[in-house]
Structure 1
Amino acid sequence: MEDIRELLAKMEKTREKKLVEHKKHLASEEYQSALRLLNVVTTDFIKGMKACSMYCSRGAEFRDNSLSLSHIDDYFMSAIMIMIMLTEGGINPAKREIRYLIDSSMRYLFVDQQLWRGSIKEKLMYFDKKVDKSNIKYINDIDLHMIKSSALKSAFRSEYKTTYYKACEYVHASTKQIEERFSLYEQGITIGLDRAEQLQEVAELLSEVYSSLLVFTFHAAGVSTIGDLMVDTLSPQDGWVYNGNQYISEIDRHFDYKHERKELIVQLEETRTNRAWPNKALQRTSR
């Protein structure tokens, strides 16, 4: 028994030492920078979604019969919970929630576009009976009509698939997940003792996921609503990080024909260039 007590006492001292070291790491500029990045990626996503929700309230019947738009509050909840999990060291559970977001949002838009004027009841029935929940093939059928460039549409679909598979590695047991965990154990990093580079990685993944959700939700809301949203509210906000995303920027560019932009096009294009994603936009806000 004495040997066991000594072993437990030694383990506790080792654990306490790691906790002291980790507190120092949490206060480091490297970790705080990753935390700021996570914060801006999350808060600006919520800002964009809230603004979209407000503009969609002008067509309440259409909004309430849209799978995509009726799940905006669900996206808020997930974004907040992901933030909490990540700041508490729960990186893998957060990635599983991320996978839910990237998966469900695409399918909701697919159903909305298949039954554009259908009721929520009809869409739910279609979702239940007609949509294959184990396949993301529907990304190829999504109508990205506010992204005019064929090359950008192709790039978006390709990036979506890459992001989806990154998130999937943490839903079910995978070789990558197991190898990562063994590697961390060897470094003395256990649950709750995650490092800045891990937080940075997942914050960058979130930026990709949230930009995809915004693209899907904007297409679900329709051209008229998003035209007003971008021109009047989101595009003028130089600090809104997602303006720097190439797909959101292209959606914004879709509305350059509007009268109020005729004398601002040159200046607006220069602004878009300076909002390049993610090197300038995200790094600028993470400092």
Structure 2
Amino acid sequence: MPRTSLEDLQPELATAIRANEAVVLSYLSTLSFIVMQGARDPSFRDTHVFSYLAQDLLQSAMALIILPREGILNAAKRELRFVLEASIKLAFVEQEGTTATVQEKLERFDKELASAKISVKNALKLQLLPEADRDAFRVEVGRLFSLTSGYVHLTPSQILESISAAEAGITAGKERPSDVESLTSVVERVLAVSLVLLFHAFPYWVAGDWMVEENGLSNRWHFSASRFVAAMDSEFDYKHERQKSLPQIQRDRQARIRF
């Protein structure tokens, strides 16, 4: 099936889809950075599950661009469930497995990886987040997992949603801009949580190198609008290069928070 061109869509719908794609591209750029930083370790491919999982996250992220263009919104939500589950389990395995080989981690954590549950989120060490934000972050993870899981299995709420859409004449290819905007609001929340989790699967300095510019200012990327990414950024306020501009950095960071 040929990929839909945005020029063939109504302007309002094309605008909504472009906004969604901008979110995903920001995620992909961060994913690429994490891969490059991880690869600086000669043992990366032998000891870090992310060296292989990155390809799956990349595929899901690309699906989040392609599927909305074709009006396939519920399938995009299923991809979000995978991204979230994978990010949770990766952070857990890397924190608990430390320098074990990939094969050793797969054997040791076979039960946790095979489970459809994400109770391991409660065992995560969230040292990149201020202590005051850690419980709220876990709640957000659980809430988003429940939301996206509603599209993995057939549920009454999903059927009712489909009935409502059909009655309104909304089918794949005939979606409304508001439908895409609603999806995007979930996409940015899930991807923000995914990045926080992925950074927790790596040494402290990886997040610091991404979050803090050479002049000490915060990286002004899409996910700096996330309350949890902003909270993570605040953990680097101790850096020497931030001290001269710290009050302004803190004000700007707070003003950008949107989700």
Given the two structures, how large is their TM-score scaled by the length of structure 2? 0.89
Higher helix fraction (1 or 2): 1
Compute the displacement of 1:185 (Å): 1.2
Compute the displacement of 1:130 (Å): 4.8
| Partner of residue 161, structure 1 | 142
Equivalent of 1:241, from 222, 226, 239?
Answer: 222
2: distance between equivalents of 1:237 and 1:99? 27
5+ residue gaps, structure 2: 1-5
Q: How many aligned residue pairs are there?
A: 253
Instruction: Give 1 or 2 for the bigger CA radius of gyration.
Output: 1
Counterpart code for 2:125? D
Counterpart code for 2:56? D
Greater relative contact order structure (CA < 8 Å, 6+ sep): 1
1: distance between equivalents of 2:10 and 2:57? 30
Same amino acid, percent of matched pairs: 29
Compute the displacement of 1:257 (Å): 1.4
| Partner of residue 15, structure 1 | none
5+ residue gaps, structure 1: 1-22, 279-287
Change (3 A) 1:198 1:261: same
SS of aligned partner of 1:221? coil
Change (3 A) 1:129 1:183: closer
253-262 or 158-167, larger mean C-alpha shift: 253-262
Q: Residue 56 in 1 paired to residue 38 in 2? A: yes
Equivalent of 1:202, from 179, 183, 189?
Answer: 183
**Contact 1:42–1:79, Cα closer than 8 Å, also in 2:** yes
Task: Note the aligned Cα RMSD (angstroms).
Answer: 2.2
SS of aligned partner of 2:238? coil
| Partner of residue 22, structure 2 | 40
Given the two structures, how large is their TM-score scaled by the length of structure 1? 0.81
| Partner of residue 48, structure 2 | 66
Deviations 1:124-171, CA, capped at 9 Å, x for gaps: 112324546122111111110111233x11111111111111111111
2: distance between equivalents of 1:54 and 1:249? 23
Compute the displacement of 1:235 (Å): 5.8
**Contact 1:146–1:223, Cα closer than 8 Å, also in 2:** yes
| Partner of residue 10, structure 1 | none
Equivalent of 2:130, from 145, 148, 165?
Answer: 148
Q: Residue 186 in 1 paired to residue 167 in 2? A: yes
SS of aligned partner of 2:130? coil
2: distance between equivalents of 1:24 and 1:80? 20
**Contact 1:69–1:221, Cα closer than 8 Å, also in 2:** no
